[in-house]
Structure 1
Amino acid sequence: MRSRQIVQRVQTQSPIDVEAMDVGHEPAKGPSQFDAVLDRMHGRWKLATIVGLSLGIIGAIVGYFFAPIEYTSLGSIRVRSELPFLLEETPETSGITNVTSHMGTIAQLIRSPRVIDNALEDPELVGFLQESPQVNLRQSIEEDLQSWAERGTELVRVQFKSSEPRLPAKIVNSLLRSYRALYSPDAEATFTEMTQRIRSLLTEERRKRADLKDQQHALRERSSFPVLDLRTLIDEQYTRKSNLERETTQLEAAINLMKQRLRAEGREPGPEEIPEPTQAELDSVDPLLADVRKQIKTAQLQYEMHKSRFLEGHMQIRKSQNTLRTLEAQYRTQLAIAKKAWLDGPGKKQRYGSMLQRLEQIDKESQALQISTSLMVKENAKYEELEEEIAQADDYINTLSKRLSQLLSEENVIRQGRETMIEAVALGFPSKDKKKQLAVAGFVGGLGIGFGIFFLLGTLDRKAFASSQLSLDPIPLRQLGVVPDINQVEPGKDGSTLIAESIHRVRNRIEASIREVADGDEGYAIMISSPNQGDGKTSLAASLGWSYASSGYSTLLADLDFIGRSLSHQFGRLHSDGIREVLNKGGINGEIANAGRENLDILGVGQDESMTAGNLHPQAVRKLFEELRSRYDRLLIDTGPMSASVESLPIMCAVDGIVLTIRRGRSRTNLRECVQEINAFGIDYLGVVLNCADIRDCNRYTSLSRMSKEVQQEMETPGRSSTGPEHPILNVLKEDQEPAGDSPNDQPPGPAS
């Protein structure tokens, strides 16, 4: 199986293998979005820059000279006498108009038709209008006049804007004078009204305080409790109640305990029944009982210890036993004495009948205590309420007194007027000037429009100017690579390498696109065509043939372009027998010749004019290709353009795959039609190659491999051969593989990195 053996040799052993051109290279990067934008400019950067700068300058000039200029003047009405109103409500303002509302009313009155009409009759404004007449001044005032109460201050602002520098100040001052003449309040009447209002409030508040004091005095006289400090007495009442509740709990616990003990004996408690004293109660009568118990416990421990150490009847055992018996007898005697003393003393109070009587007394005392405490709380709450109202009245009286003193101290200022007019001043510079901003915006906009026009033209243009347009096309074009424009490649070794790499990369991509390679002796037939004449299909076919031959493939170049015949002309086969004669005779007989290098042959178009594209039979072509597949690994068939040649369709039906090429600057519309036609016939479409590509596209799809400095120095020194430095990872792996206990020096040296 010659084809399979050659492919295996190329992929495993051959020094010029299929992927040789990609070993050690950076992976090719596809076009970015920025590259796609650059490609759409189609090299028109200079023209786009000139047009953009021209439009930018025009836009800047228009923006600068047509930018609106606005002059603003600001006047104010200061409500000086009402400054305290703005900070907090003062006593005299509780029954009159809110200050904020008053200032809002001033702002509305400034814009009222009455004030505007009166302002237009102002002599100063009339004189100015005679010098500089204005059109529709009243309408302009109604539209551009602004007046508002400034929050947190005592100022009502009046503002007017106009393109005339002196007009805003004239309008604002005329409006201020008009308002003062029509609506400004009388200062004398204002001061008198304010002082009278405060004095009447003072009189009313003092009378209210006197009534509260009388109520408080009457409450004390009617009180059932002689103590003035009821709060202390209430606290004592609560303490007494808490003690009674605690005593009740103790008595109930003692009664229940006595009932449980007597019922266990089968009898009920009588009135004279006394409960058994507790250990604590007996200890309270005779504190020495606790000491005797401790001594008995110690004697018991000593007795047990002697019994475990000595034999029965030993003197120590008898001595400790006598001591223990003596102490127990002493304890019983003292306990009986203490119990009798308790029954004669505290025990009498704990008779069953006495405890029941005490519970009844406590209940009655608690009820009485609850009633008296409730009365005290009500009376004290009323007293404290009156006390709080008196304190509030005192505070309000002090506030009114201070406010009256303040008004009297400001009498001169208030009598001069509540509202002071602050006239507007004509500014010498505009308040709003956007000449520079609009000039910059116009320049940027014009520049953007200039570039946008050419970008739009590049978007609408259906020509292929760059590989990104093929990659981003809506119809999958499956780009195989690019062939550089020779005129843009710099002469020298790097330029030649760039061209060679481009061709080899296209060949590798074609091999990656081939779906299957026959397992027998048959090769693979590839048709090289293009949408238009002059796209470079013949030069691509010849270059690919050379690349395949260099990689060890047995390759045949076949010229089936019956009209162009460029491939035959390129290899000097125009006057030699070729395809025409083979098809007429039905077999190959010396028409194939070597193309100038090993593994590469050429089959020209031939000379027999009786065989034309019009009488080309698909079956004959298919039969010929089957014979050629048995001889060669790869058949590269050059045909005429698919959109214009007659022979392309019969040849297309006989090949295994088709490669298209398009020249930079040619229309992509015909390319799409060719791809659609190939897919319609069910033939393998391998991809498209961009011919005469820009050098930027070549840099995207190719790269130059570089050897390291150490390898270069080794190659430049004849006869020198040394082992290069090992990689640190390799050293770690070698150490990890060494047997335990062996010295690293006993192991054979590893390979150089």
Structure 2
Amino acid sequence: MNAVTLATPLTPMPVSRFDQSRHVGRRSVSFGALGQVLRWRWKLVVGVLALTMLLVVGASYAISPRYQAVARLRITPNRPLVVAPDGEGGHGPLDQSLLSTEIATIRSRDIARRVVQANGLQHDPEFVSARLRSGKDEVAQARAVEAAISTLLERLSVDQQEKSYILAVGFQSRDAVKAARIANGFAESYINSTADVMMSTAARQADEGQAALQRLSKQAEVAAADVAHYRASTGIVQGANGATVNDQQIAPLSSQVATAEAAAAAARSNLETAEKQVASAGPDAVSAVLSSNVIADLRRQRTAAEADRSQLASRYGPIFPALIEANERISALDRQIHEEQARIIEGLRSEARAATAQAASLRGQLGSLKGEIAANNSAAVKAESLQRSADAATGAYNHLASSVQQTAQVEQSSQPQARLIEQAVVSSTPAFPNRPAMAATSVLAGLVLGVIAAMVTETMQGTVRNADDVEVLLGLRFLASVPRLGRKQLKGEDGGRCSPADTLLLRPMSAYAEAYRAIRSSIRRADGGSARVVALCSTVPGEGKTSSSLTLARVMAMAGERVLLIDGDVRRPSVRRLAHLHSDCGLIEVLKGEAELSDAILADHVEGCSILPVTKSTFSPTDLFNPGRMRALLEQLRPHYDHILIDTPPVLGVTDARSIAKLSDGVVLMIKWGGTPIAAVDAALAGLEHDNVPIIGAVLTMVNPRAEAVGALYYSRRYVSYYDR
């Protein structure tokens, strides 16, 4: 991001027309720019804050004060008015429903009626209007009482304190003594009413409970007798754990059946495998045969006998006695091996038959047991139904007995459910309005409203603020932003105030000077450098056009160019004054032929910069800028200067500006940042467009150094070291 935003057009951009009403007021304020907006609009924020505080504080003193008195009650949770369904009460977790019930009781109209009648509030003008108090008949008096009750309940507050059984009963009144009396009246009326209700409720519940106990006792006895009789008649015998004997036997028997069936399946599988091995490869291939220690021993003996026979056969003939004996021993071993193989296979068959038989026997026992259980199911269902009825009757009896016992205890005790632990006292300070709180709230509200007002004002702002406004709303190329100079920058060497153009001589490396170097670069690039005669125009007076013209001319001269600055504002000439020059003739005299051009042109303090001033204000009906004479003058000057700058009068105020602009190669429009309405700039552009004037671009002048147009805080922090402040 550069210190000075710069657009460098290659060709002048024609002015694009648009409906201004579609654009004015559409600027949005982002949260990122909020701080910037507040810096610009701080006076508005402070004004809204002061007005809000004045209104709120004034209203707090205009409102009639109200005093609040608070009485505190402690609720006793171990004596509920109505026994809970489960018969449980006493201490434990906080019973929020009990507290809600008591709060609603205190706020009831019956309690309020007692307070009204006890204190005669139906005749108090604070609670009843004069029209209702004036009535003498019973209906009017009843209406007055009801009106007083409604007003009383509106000012009554009942709150639980810090998740406890403490209730704060508060009341507000214009009279502090009356507020304390009414708050205490509510507390006392509530305590008295709870004692009365408790006694009457307990007596009624005790009478009803005794009758119900006798009825439930008979029902429980009959139900228990029915259960015992039915179990005896059906032969249902239960174990210690409540299950029947058959139910207790079926689980282990089922486990035995599963184990036996698994063993039988394994035995059959082994037999089937052995038979397949015998059929395919003979008995020697059977796994059980191969793993038999007996057969393994017989085979070793046969191997040894084979070795002996081989030695004898090699030495002797077939009739040798020892050889014959060896052959017989081998044959005997073969028979023993064959017999052992047959015995092993037959053992597998016997094992399979035994396992199958055992599994079948256990299945039979399980089936018989299931049959017995099925036969007893219908009887068991009915027995369970009878047992449930008996249990329900017994439970109802026990529950009611407990409730009747607690009710009897309540009846015997006259202690109320709540007691007063702190009486309301007369307050010396009003509770409403709370002036310190209202003042603090007014500060917060004022700040919020001030920020909103600043954002709305900025959103509806109809002036040019940044490069997007220039390029999007006006359709112009943005050339540069010229920062506004403060008192420090406008301080001369002698300590006095100097003009902005003089700061270029004192601080040639400032951000202000850099902005005009950017403008010079844009002019040099316009039309490939052919824009030599440039008119500097503004929409209205006071946009810094003349200072910008002199500063730009000096910047060009400091860059080694030959520059002529012509003061084209004959009604309010100021170039000569800003340049601190003196002359007896100038542009008007040259155009009228009363002076030579060489005598009218003055040398500026910067080498290479010349000035053709206007020596005095002229108001003439004649056309001083006759196209023929002015064009001839410009053509005469072109060969001698690299650039000719013309300081024109405001476009909307004087027609001379448009006449001069038509003779130039291009126009640079100077727009005051945040000052010139977009509608005014658009009107000026309409006139220049009608004259087919080529516009090089627009420059924002007098820009707040902290504004987005010159980089805002990022610019001031990151690039301050690059410039001579």
Q: 2:661 aligns with which of 614, 630, 652?
A: 652
Work out whether residues 57 and 438 of structure 2, in 8 Å CA contact, stay in contact via their aligned partners in 1: yes
CA distance in 1, matches of 2:523, 2:696: 9
State the SS of the aligned residue for 1:556: strand
Name 2:114's counterpart in structure 1.
119
The partner residue of 1:549 within 546, 551, 557 is 557
In structure 2, what is the Cα distance between the partners aligned to 1:633 and 1:482? 27
Secondary structure of 1:653's match?
helix
Q: Tell me the equivalent position of 2:212.
A: 197
Alignment of 1:415 onto 2:412: yes
| Match among 196, 211, 230 for residue 226 of structure 2 | 211
Corresponding pairs, count: 620
| 2:681 paired with 1:687 | no
State the alpha-carbon separation in 1 of the partners of residues 248 and 463 from structure 2. Answer: 106
Contact 2:220-2:394 within 8 A present in 1 as well: yes
Conserved in 1, the CA contact under 8 Å of 2:277 and 2:285? no
Q: Within 5 Å, give how 1:129-278 maps onto structure 2.
A: 134-135=127-128, 136-142=144-150, 145=153, 161-163=171-173, 164-165=178-179, 166-171=181-186, 173-174=188-189, 177=192, 185=200, 187-198=202-213, 200-220=215-235, 229-242=245-258, 245-246=261-262, 249=265
Task: Give the 3-state SS of the residue equivalent to 1:489 in structure 2.
Answer: coil
In structure 2, what is the Cα distance between the partners aligned to 1:214 and 1:147?
A: 64
Per-residue deviation at 1:470? Answer: 8.3
Residue 595, structure 1, aligned to residue 604, structure 2: yes
For the 8 Å contact 1:484–1:502, the answer to whether it is kept is no
> Does the 8 Å contact 1:77/1:420 carry over to 2?
yes
Give the TM-score, by structure 2 length.
Answer: 0.63
Deviation at residue 546 of structure 1 after TM alignment: 1.5
Q: Is the 8 A contact 1:69 1:433 kept in 2?
A: no
Q: Give the counterpart letter for 2:438 in structure 1.
A: L
Structure 2: distance between partners of 1:256 and 1:616: 130
SS across alignment from 1:616: coil
User: What is the match of residue 575 of structure 1?
Assistant: 584
Name the aligned partner's letter for residue 695 of structure 2: D
Distance verdict in 2 for CA 1:414–1:667, change over 3 Å: same
Q: Deviations over 1:79-126 (max 9, x none)?
A: 8655794372579xxxxxxx999999999888887x47973785x434
SS of 1:86's partner is coil
The answer to whether the 8 Å contact 1:187/1:418 transfers is: no
Residues 200-225 of structure 1: CA deviation (Å, up to 9, x unaligned): 434433442343233333343799xx
For the pair 1:673 / 2:699, whether they are aligned, the reply is: no
Alpha-carbon contact 1:187-1:417 (below 8 Å) kept: no
Alpha carbons of structure 1 residues 140 and 640: separation in structure 2 relative to 1, 3 Å: same
Q: Aligned pair in 2 of structure 1 residues 257, 457: CA closer, same or farther (>3 Å)?
A: closer
CA distance in 2, matches of 1:203, 1:453: 83
Identify if the C-alpha distance between structure 1 residues 383 and 278 changes in structure 2 by more than 3 Å, giving closer, same or farther: farther
Counterpart among 639, 646, 654 of residue 637 in structure 1: 646
8 Å contact kept, 2:565–2:609: yes
Deviation at 1:636, TM superposition (A): 1.0
After superposition, the C-alpha distances for 1:334-353 in whole angstroms (9 at most, x for unaligned) are: 3123246568x748859xxx
Partner-residue secondary structure (3-state), 2:525: coil
Q: Distance in 1 between matches of 2:680 and 2:560?
A: 35
Which residue in the other structure is 2:310 paired with?
none
- Match of 2:296? 290
* Deviation string, structure 1 residues 275-324 (Cα, Å, up to 9, x no partner): 9798456579x742134558889999x9xxxxxxxxxx9xxxxxxxxxx9
Give SS of 2:250's match. helix
Residue 231 of structure 2 contacts residue 237 of structure 2 at CA under 8 Å; is this kept in 1? no
Contact 1:65 1:435 in 2 (8 A): no
**Aligned-residue offset at 1:404:** 3.8
Q: Is 1:59 aligned with 2:65?
A: no
Name the residue aligned to 2:520.
511
CA distance 1:613–1:689, shift in 2 (3 Å): farther
Q: Is the 8 A contact 1:103 1:156 kept in 2?
A: no
Contact 2:554 2:609 in 1 (8 A): yes
In structure 1, the partner of 2:439 is: 439
The C-alpha deviation readout for 1:520-572, integer Å capped at 9, x for no partner, is 8x552221233345655333322221111111122122233344444356575
Distance 1:259 1:232, change over 3 A: same
- 2: CA distance, partners of 1:182 / 1:228: 54
Q: Which runs of 5+ in 2 are unaligned?
A: 1-31, 90-94, 129-143, 308-313, 315-325, 496-502
Matches within 5 A, 1:325-336: 332-336=334-338
Amino acid at match of 1:234: I
Contact 1:79-1:419 within 8 A present in 2 as well:
no
Letter in 1 for 2:483: V
Distance 1:201 1:193 in 2: 12
Give distance in 2, aligned partners of 1:192 and 1:644: 105
1:375 — aligned with what?
Answer: 372
Change over 3 Å in CA distance of 1:506–1:203 after alignment to 2? same
| Cα pair 2:591 2:629 within 8 Å, conserved | no
Whole-angstrom CA distance in 1 between matches of 2:445 and 2:355: 105
Q: What amino acid maps onto 2:699 in structure 1? A: V
Paired residues of 2:546 and 2:575 also in contact (CA < 8 A): yes
Contact 2:253 2:362 in 1 (8 A): no
- The separation in 1 between residues aligned to 2:111 and 2:278, in whole angstroms, is 109
How far residue 652 of structure 1 moved from its aligned partner, in angstroms, is 0.7
| Conservation of the 8 A alpha-carbon contact between 1:529 and 1:661 | yes
Distance, in Å, in 2 between the alignment partners of 1:551 and 1:101 is 89
CA 86–169 in structure 1, closer or farther in 2 if over 3 Å, else same: same
Distance in 2 (alpha carbons) for counterparts of 1:51 and 1:364: 103
Is 1:88 the counterpart of 2:97 in the alignment? Answer: no
- Residues 109 and 595 of structure 1: is their aligned pair in 2 closer, same or farther, counting only changes over 3 Å? closer
Contact 2:202 2:407 in 1 (8 A): no
2:571 & 2:237 partners in 1: Cα distance? Answer: 138
Q: What amino acid is the match of 2:114?
A: A
Distance in 2 between residues matched to 1:552 and 1:297, nearest whole Å: 126
8 Å CA contact retained: 2:72, 2:166: no
Question: Which segments of 5 or more consecutive residues in structure 1 lack a partner in the other structure?
Answer: 1-30, 92-98, 266-274, 303-312, 314-323, 709-753
State the alpha-carbon separation in 2 of the partners of residues 168 and 528 from structure 1: 81
Map residues 309-328 of structure 1 onto 2, 5 A cutoff: none
Asked if the contact 1:485/1:695 (under 8 Å) is kept, the reply is no
Q: Which amino acid aligns with 1:436?
A: P
Is contact 2:192–2:416 with CA below 8 Å preserved after alignment?
Answer: no
For 1:687, the aligned partner's letter is A
Q: Which amino acid aligns with 1:442?
A: S
How far, CA to CA, are the matches of 2:532 and 2:463 in structure 1?
Answer: 32
Distance 1:64 1:292, change over 3 A: farther
The 3 A distance-change label for structure 1 pair 89 and 118 is: same
Percent identity (aligned): 16
Q: Which residue is 2:317 aligned to?
A: none
Give the TM-score normalised by structure 1: 0.61
Contact 2:122 2:148 (8 Å CA) reproduced: no
Alignment of 1:292-311 (within 5 A): 292=298
Change (3 A) 1:101 1:688: closer
Distance 2:593 2:304 in 1: 140
Q: SS in structure 2 opposite 1:688?
A: strand
Question: Partner letter of residue 485 of structure 2?
Answer: P
Q: How far 1:399 sits from its partner (Å)?
A: 8.8
Counterpart CA distance in 2 for 1:660 and 1:147 is: 70
Contact 2:536–2:647 (CA under 8 A) maintained in structure 1: yes
